[in-house]
Amino acid sequence: MEVNDALVQQLANLARLEFSEQERAGIQHDLQRMITFVEKLNELDTANVQPLLFLTENYNVFREDKVIPSITREEGLQNAPSANDQYFKVPKVIKK
């Protein structure tokens, strides 16, 4: 497939982009290289190639859940600038 100015202009219009002549020439060259690469890939025989589902042999690797000690509510609230016995107190941000 040949990438020409009309194709680049059509793609630019669809993407709502504007290019200078120099940028358009660069984009045309890059698009042509990409299409050439894809055409080269199409030459490969993939009839006996299994689909790749996972990039590694490991899949669904989960860590074991462990109960670890945490701080108490009182310890968490002791450094708060304002708190009651259960919650942090924060300034009101929504005014009626």
Q: What is the pLDDT of residues 55-82, one digit of tens each?
A: 777 767 788 888 888 988 888 888 888 8
Structure tokens at 68: 């670890």
| Confidence category of residue 92, pLDDT binned at 50, 70, 90 | confident
78 domain residue, yes or no: no
* Separation of CA 45 from chain center: 31
Quote the pLDDT of residue 65.
87
30 domain residue, yes or no: yes
Q: How many independent structural domains does the chain possess?
A: 1
Domain with 35 in it = 5-42
Q: Buried (b) or exposed (e) across 19-47, using 16+ Cβ within 10 A?
A: eeeeeeeebbeeebeeeeeeeeeeeeeee
33 domain residue, yes or no: yes
94 domain residue, yes or no: no
Quote the pLDDT of residue 86.
87
Give φ, ψ of 49 to 5 degrees: -95, 125
Facing residues of 65 across strands?
A: none
Q: For the domain that residue 37 is a member of, what is the CATH number? A: 1.10.20
70 domain residue, yes or no: no
Give φ, ψ of 59 to 5 degrees: -150, 150
